[in-house]
Amino acid sequence: MKDLLPAGATSAVSRAGEARSTVGDRPPLALLAPAALLGFTLWQFLAKAVLYLRSPFSPDYGEGQVLALIQRMVRDGTFFGDLQR
């Protein structure tokens, strides 16, 4: 059985008497923290996505500012305000 294991691996005997390799075995508690972190970030992402999709407001990418500048250009002939007004 020893010659079938990779270098540096040990074997353990289970209760049923079968030999199993312990290469790469991690205790369940070592995987608990990364799994909890991944679950928490996934929950945050999904919660924010739902809030974004349910929001009655649309994102403004600056179109309102551009339209206001165009209206000012048409009305005043310049983008800049009059200091005398």
Per-residue pLDDT reduced to its tens digit, 34-70: 999 999 999 999 999 999 999 888 777 777 888 888 8
Q: What is the per-residue burial (b if ≥16 Cβ within 10 Å, else e) of 5-40? A: eeeeeeeeeeeeeeeeeeeeeeeeeeeeeeeeeeee
- The length of the chain in residues reads 85
pLDDT at 21: 54
pLDDT at 51: 92
**Taking 60 as the threshold, does the pLDDT of residue 3 lie above it?**
no
Task: Tell me the average pLDDT of the chain.
Answer: 77
Q: Domain residues of the chain, as ranges? A: 2-56
Under the banding of pLDDT at 50, 70 and 90, the label for residue 4 is low
